[in-house]
Amino acid sequence: MSNTIRLKKGLDISLEGGAPYNTATLPAADSYAVRPDDFKGFTPKLLVQPGDEVKAGSPLLFDKYHPEILITSPVSGTVGAVNRGEKRKILEVVVLPDGKNEFLDFSLPASGGMSRQQTLDAILQAGLWPMLVQRPYGIMADPAALPKAIFVSGFDSSPLAPDMDYVLRGDEENLNAGIEALKKLTPGGVHLGLRAEGDSSLLGKTLNFLDRGTTAPKLRIDQAPRIIKNLKGAQKTWFEGPHPAGNVGVQIHHIAPINRGETVWTIDIQHLAILGRFFRTGRVDMTKTIALTGTGLKNAYYTKTISGANVRSLLAGNLVDNGADHRIISGNVLSGTKISQEGFLGFFSNQITVIPEGNHYEFIGWILPRFNKFSVSKTYFSWLMPWKSYNLDTNLNGGRRAFIFNGIYDKYLPMDIYPVYLMKAIIAGDLDKMENLGIYEVIEEDIALCEFVDPSKTEMQAILRGGIEQMIKELS
């Protein structure tokens, strides 16, 4: 493990409500949805109408500008609705499952004998292409492009994130098959970012590890079985340090930074397993394991589900006060998406987080000792207890104001990028400065921590996405 990168910048936010090693079996969802907004750079056109019968893997949508890119149904059943917004924008294609979960069979040659073009065509036809995300810009990958490499992060360092080694137990063959398939799409190979063994940020975390219905002794997370490090065919790099060490953008920055004119592709490691499963079975099986986390839940745990499942079915009977005054987030608290109980699990989400809504205000709260409030600036005495976990809500704890130049952002972004200057260049619409200041290397999740610690309460992620869209528009 000589290829280890140690990151000093960043911040681990220790929250209450983490999921123990316990996978619960829940009833199947009563509806599933494909949401085009989950796929940046995708312009949807319908292939089905309400009442049409589909199988898992049947095409539902295609891209207006790249008709070969399909999005397929995660389950078999009937198209229940096509929900639209302003200007008839497609918001959701809802599929009502038939309980059979029949698969559309794809005839695939032996994976070892498939060419690059055959591999690419198979991924496109199965509707799995949206799993591949292109950097720069964090948009859906262009099938006509040749990326210099493909990157996969083998761990998630965000708050309350699922442990991918636990999530992917039993998927080793699928992961290896996925790596072999991706290697055919790029001359630069597949890079796998791993959590360094003995990383101090893992020490002391105890979780109840359950296996096959029997309770084992409590284990620290760093003592749990680690399977991802044993995968074959990928170029491995170990990362040590706080969040955002698990972000694939940070890993790319330290392994092979993106220059102008270059592209790389990324894929979530659970999607890598789904991709490998497809090449091994010829079926589009979107089953994955997610973590249900947060203090807004009566019980936190892992569960197996299918991508796009209705959130109501996942959280039924498990919400504190039936969800009153709580926020449901598809994803993590830093970069996830707020959804309702009638919403659907996001395509790229590996967790659902429920935390208290910040709809209350405290008189002179900032002047109190505040032992139970988290602070990065040592405003509260809680900084004396670095081991403590917190029950945070969504309150901004302040009002929005102009950028404050105090260097705070640079302490939490382990990349050679100056966040304030990049934000100002975006607001000014200066494309040259945006390029020089590193807009090619970051997407929303990479600066989410800067937004969290920002004393100005600036919506930095929204500003960054606006700048990315302007770059695409002006330079395309």
Residues 276 and 130 in one domain: yes
Q: Provide the number of structural domains found in the chain.
A: 4
**Alpha-carbon 223 to chain mean position:** 24
- Our CA dihedral for 463, 469, 471, 473, rounded to 10 degrees, sits at -150
- 222: in domain: yes
Q: Is the pLDDT of residue 82 over 70?
A: yes
**Taking the model in full, what pTM does it have?**
0.92
Residues 175 and 234 in one domain: yes
Residues 363 and 310 in one domain: yes
Structure tokens at 132: 């591949």
Residues 206 and 320 in one domain: no
Query: CA–CA separation, 193 vs 196, rounded Å?
Result: 9
Query: CA–CA separation, 51 vs 54, rounded Å?
Result: 9
- Contact by Cβ (8 Å): 21, 209: yes
Query: CA–CA separation, 310 vs 49, rounded Å?
Result: 20
312-330: per-residue pLDDT in tens?
999 999 999 988 899 999 9
pLDDT score, position 376:
79
Query: CA–CA separation, 447 vs 458, rounded Å?
Result: 12
Q: Could you tell me the pLDDT band of residue 214, with boundaries at 50, 70 and 90?
A: very low
444-459: per-residue pLDDT in tens?
999 999 999 988 889 9
Query: CA–CA separation, 429 vs 434, rounded Å?
Result: 8
User: How many CB atoms lie under 10 A from the CB of residue 93?
Assistant: 26
- 104: in domain: no
Residues 230 and 294 in one domain: no
Strand partners, 235: 191
Domain that holds residue 309: 289-367
* CATH code at position 338: 3.10.20.600
- 108: in domain: no
Residues 321 and 198 in one domain: no
